């Protein structure tokens, strides 16, 4: 049994995770074509896929959300064409909680917030995102120590998140979530 975890986006990653803990990793790195080729090559190996639901963090996330959705929908379409069952399209909070990552975002700004308050919130959100990405790298290394070198660098957080989504898919298929 194996699952596909997809952290869509221009810097995302795709992972085929097998029951024995072995995995195949593809970094998207701005190439939807390469990602779709990876799916085409390995779709026959997987029993299902988990692809993250799109969400934005206020004003600053709108442009990146458009890019994310374009990449996500292209990959989603490739999964449908390859007849790979989509097990779930969870929000980030859902799959992160299921695999044991708990980071809570800072409080929202009131509607009448000053520019200083808004700036402080943006800085707090950046710190929150960094903590989440570090937590994903740490958790993936704990769950799959034989592959920890794949998550060693800060920029490997997308790989870690894709592995954790695939792990979540295995949990769903086993009925442990």
Does the structure show a pLDDT above 80 at 61?
no
Which domain covers residue 18, as residue numbers? 2-174
Kindly tell me if the per-residue pLDDT of 62 is higher than 80.
no
pLDDT value, residue 129: 74
Instruction: Return the CATH number at 127.
Output: 3.30.420.10
pTM: 0.80
Residue 138 has pLDDT above 90, yes or no: yes
Domain count within the chain: 1
Minimal CA–CA distance to 38: which of 68, 6, 70?
6
């Amino acid at each position: 049994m194996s699952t596909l975890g997809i952290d869509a986006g221009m810097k995302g990653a795709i992972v085929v995770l097998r029951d024995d803990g072995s995995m195949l990793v593809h970094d998207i790195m701005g190439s939807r074509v390469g990602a779709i080729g990876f799916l085409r090559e390995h779709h026959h190996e997987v029993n299902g896929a988990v692809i993250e639901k799109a969400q934005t963090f206020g004003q600053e996330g709108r442009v990146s959300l458009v890019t994310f959705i374009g990449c996500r929908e292209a990959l989603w379409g490739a999964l449908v064409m390859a007849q790979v069952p989509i097990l779930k399209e969870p929000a980030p909070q859902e799959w992160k909680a299921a695999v044991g990552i708990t980071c809570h975002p800072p409080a929202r700004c009131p509607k009448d917030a000053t520019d200083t308050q808004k700036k402080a919130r943006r800085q707090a959100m950046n710190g929150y995102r960094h903590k989440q990405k570090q937590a994903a790298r740490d958790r993936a290394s704990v769950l799959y120590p034989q592959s920890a070198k794949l998550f060693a660098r800060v920029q490997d957080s997308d790989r870690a998140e894709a592995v954790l989504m695939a792990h979540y898919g295995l949990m769903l298929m086993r009925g442990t979530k």
